[in-house]
Structure 1
Amino acid sequence: MAFIPHPQRRPVLVAGASSGIGAATAEILSAAGYPVALAARRVDKLQELTDRITAAGGEAVAVPLDITDESSVLECVAKAQAALGDLEIVVSGAGDLAVGLSYEVSPADFAAQIDIHLVGAHRLYRAVVPGMIERGRGDYVFIGSDVVLHPRPWSSAYVAAKAGIDGLVATAQLELEGTGVRASVIRPGQVLTGMGMYLDQKTTELMLNDWIKHGLARHGNFLEPGHIAQAVTAIVTMPRGAHMRVVEVEAEGAIQRTERPEGEH
């Protein structure tokens, strides 16, 4: 059976679009001609990006979103679809980072990370996927993490939440098979974003030293948010009939340059 190609107009909702990976994804997709709804709590930041996109000739709208509040999620989806049309693509990357040793972090702080990264992603997934199933097409892209494969000390709640994302996606892929809807997860390595930049120097040093001790910081190179945005683009532009289920993106190690022998060019 032949698959009907993607429609010409594919509205996108990017959750967590006020900075980092989400902002880069919104900019790259809008530049490629996708109408984009930018969603996050920091509406002022969203509006700045929306203005840049529209000034460049793109189509974008800023929509408030608190991923921990179901009513906010439902209202966000409704506003995005009212402005742009039925959502064809959703990129779920809203979240922040709280660190601490697993035996010291409070239950409330642990639960908050699970709520933001895992339950929040499910809130949004549940709000948009039934409509995608009804239309027989759609892409839902979860931003996961390589900590699922390589857990890092001081990040137990974050690791647990991202491991949960992997479990959710694996289950969703089974349930969505044959519906025309594709669920995918991207597992980035270390990305240079604002997430976690508020940490105090002492905590950061202790954490990084533990990462080094366990071989989790082999080199100092970081990914740029745009690298992950390019992975998102690769997933959603894949022609129907194929499915990029899991994409891992890691920073490339620095090239080791050696001095060339005299006279060699």
Structure 2
Amino acid sequence: MPRFAPLPDRRPALVAGASSGIGEATAIKLAANGFPVALGARRVDKLQEIVGKIRADGGEAIAVHLDVTDPDSVKAAVEQTTSELGEIEVLVAGAGDTYFGKLDSISIDEFESQIQIHLVGAYRVASAVLPGMLQRQRGDLIFVGSDVSLRPRPHMGAYGAAKAALVSMVTNYQMELEGTGVRASIVHPGPTKTSMGWSLPAELIGPALDDWAKWGQARHDYFMRAADLARAITFVAETPRGSFIANMELQPEAPLAGNTSRQKLTLGEEGMPA
């Protein structure tokens, strides 16, 4: 006799922040693995392009407008997802951006914006889907964290503070949801090649690279692909009942010793040199 009823064959997923980067790759991977997926973000036109590609490959997907800083937008996105795909079984809370700057040079508004999107926004969308999960006694809340929350990095203090608070929030979810059938997980990306942070001006990047090197936080210039994180997040979602992934950290493997080829230095997902 199994300890838990198996997960249903149909598990609708809502991916917040699905218009680019890790969120886009995760939506594509989930759909390829049979999850009906609602792609949520503010850029609905970009979402429609991704949805078209998913459907062309045989997947099931819809685009929903989602701004995690707007309660009405979150409510509408959850209602649309539920109406068109069914009750949400999986949430991937990955919406976000990063503000780059030392703590003594950024404004209160800039600091607060990071808290609002990475912490309050994640809580807002989780709160919107959690009641249904509790009623069904199953569901996965998967949050996208950052290695910056585990090892703070100069010039990313606001972003790191928000992500560190997210770790605390997810840990509380894990304790408070114990015995409900709802699982809460957090996946921490290390340096990942996405568009986030790539447009930063040189006057911000240069001093940061110097400080990261000083603190041993730029040991090599290899970075992960968004698809690497998508595979990990999908693995968390597909974990059979009876266990769950509490915390997962992914880091890029360093180049083999003696490899003289180097990629052009750019800035990756988590603010690291790529």
TM over 0.5: yes
Using the alignment, how far apart are the partners of 2:233 and 2:6 within structure 1? Answer: 18
- Aligned position for 1:150: 151
Using the alignment, how far apart are the partners of 2:103 and 2:201 within structure 1? Answer: 18
Does residue 190 (structure 1) correspond to residue 191 (structure 2)? The answer is: yes
Using the alignment, how far apart are the partners of 2:237 and 2:114 within structure 1? Answer: 27
- Aligned position for 2:250: 249
SS in 1 for 2:109: helix
- Aligned position for 1:262: none
Instruction: Give CA-to-partner distance per residue, 1:119-168, whole Å, 9 cap, x none.
Output: 00000011001110110000010000111221110111100000011000
Instruction: Give CA-to-partner distance per residue, 1:151-210, whole Å, 9 cap, x none.
Output: 110111100000011000000000100000000000111111111112111211111111
- Aligned position for 2:76: 75
Which ranges in structure 2 are unaligned for 5 or more consecutive residues? Answer: 260-274
Greater Cα radius of gyration, structure 1 or 2? 1
C-alpha deviation, 1:44, in angstroms: 0.8
- Aligned position for 2:170: 169
Does residue 208 (structure 1) correspond to residue 189 (structure 2)? The answer is: no
- Aligned position for 1:46: 47
Moved over 2 A (4+): none
Q: Sequence identity, in percent?
A: 50
Q: Which amino acid aligns with 2:84?
A: A
Using the alignment, how far apart are the partners of 2:236 and 2:58 within structure 1? Answer: 24
C-alpha deviation, 1:78, in angstroms: 0.6
C-alpha deviation, 1:14, in angstroms: 0.4
Give matches, 1:13-24, under 5 Å.
Answer: 13-24=14-25
Q: Which amino acid aligns with 1:41?
A: R
Please tell me the root mean square deviation across aligned C-alpha atoms, in Å. Answer: 1.2
SS in 2 for 1:139: strand
- Aligned position for 2:111: 110
Give matches, 1:225-264, under 5 Å.
Answer: 225-257=226-258
- Aligned position for 2:269: none
Using the alignment, how far apart are the partners of 1:19 and 1:221 within structure 2? Answer: 20
Q: Which amino acid aligns with 2:206?
A: E
Normalising by the residue count of structure 1, what TM-score does the alignment of the two structures yield?
Answer: 0.96
Q: Which amino acid aligns with 1:156?
A: G
- Aligned position for 1:136: 137
Instruction: Give CA-to-partner distance per residue, 1:38-57, whole Å, 9 cap, x none.
Output: 00001111000000001111
Using the alignment, how far apart are the partners of 1:98 and 1:50 within structure 2? Answer: 29
Using the alignment, how far apart are the partners of 1:48 and 1:6 within structure 2? Answer: 30
